[in-house]
Amino acid sequence: MTPGSGLQAGLKNRHLSMIAIGGVIGAGLFVGSKSGIATAGPGILLSYALVGTLVVLVMRMLGEMSAANPTSGSFSAHADRALGRWAGFSIGWLYWFFWVVVLAVEATAGAGILHDWVPDISQWAWALIVMTVLTATNLVSVGSYGEFEFWFAGIKVVAIGAFIVVGLLAIFGVLPGVHAEQASFGNLTSHGGFLPHGPGSILTGVLLVVFSFMGSEIATLAAGESENPQQAVTKSTNSIIWRIGVFYLGSILVVVSLLPWNDPSIAKDGSYVAALDSLGIAHAGQIMNFIVLTSVLSCLNSGLYTASRMAFSLGERGDAPKAFARVNSRGVPMAAILASVVFGFVAVFFNYLSPDTIFLFLVNSSGAVALFVWLVICFSQLRMRKILQRESPEKLVVKMWLYPYLTWATAALIVFVLGYMLTDTEHDGRETVLLSLLVAAVVLVIAVVKERIAANRPAPAAEAPADRISVG
Select the more confidently predicted residue: 8 or 195. Answer: 195
Q: Give the per-residue pLDDT at 393.
A: 92
Who's near 221: CB < 8 A, 6+ residues apart? 72, 73, 74, 306, 309, 310
Burial class from Cβ neighbours inside 10 Å (0-12, 13-18, 19+) for residue 191 reads middle
The DSSP-derived string for 401-450 is: TTTTHHHHHHHHHHHHHHHHHTT--TTSHHHHHHHHHHHHHHHHHHHHHH
The DSSP call for residue 325 is G
Q: Give the per-residue pLDDT at 461.
A: 55
pLDDT tens string 334-353: 999 999 999 888 888 888 88
Per-residue pLDDT for 15 more than 90? no
- Report if pTM > 0.75: yes
Domain ranges of the chain: 13-303+347-452
Q: Give the span between the Cα atoms of 78 and 62, in whole angstroms.
A: 9
Give the rounded distance of the alpha carbon of 83 from its chain centre: 23
Q: Give the per-residue pLDDT at 364.
A: 85
The DSSP call for residue 15 is H
Q: Give the per-residue pLDDT at 459.
A: 60
Q: Give the per-residue pLDDT at 437.
A: 93
> Can the peptide bond before residue 404 be classed as cis, meaning omega within 30 degrees of 0?
yes
**Going by CATH, does the domain composed of 13-303+347-452 fall within 3.40.190.10?**
no
Q: Give the per-residue pLDDT at 472.
A: 35
Residue pair 123/112 in contact by the 8 Å Cβ criterion? yes
Select the more confidently predicted residue: 156 or 402. Answer: 402
pLDDT tens string 200-223: 899 888 888 887 887 788 888 887
Per-residue pLDDT for 468 more than 50? no
Instruction: Find, among 366, 362, 289, the residue nearest to 112 by Cα.
Output: 289
Per-residue pLDDT for 4 more than 60? no
pLDDT tens string 382-441: 999 999 999 999 999 989 999 999 999 999 999 999 999 898 888 788 899 999 999 999
Burial class from Cβ neighbours inside 10 Å (0-12, 13-18, 19+) for residue 121 reads middle
Give the confidence band of 28 by pLDDT, cuts at 50, 70, 90: confident
Q: Give the per-residue pLDDT at 438.
A: 93
Q: Give the per-residue pLDDT at 5.
A: 44
End-to-end CA distance of the chain: 51
Q: Give the per-residue pLDDT at 92.
A: 94
Q: Give the per-residue pLDDT at 3.
A: 39
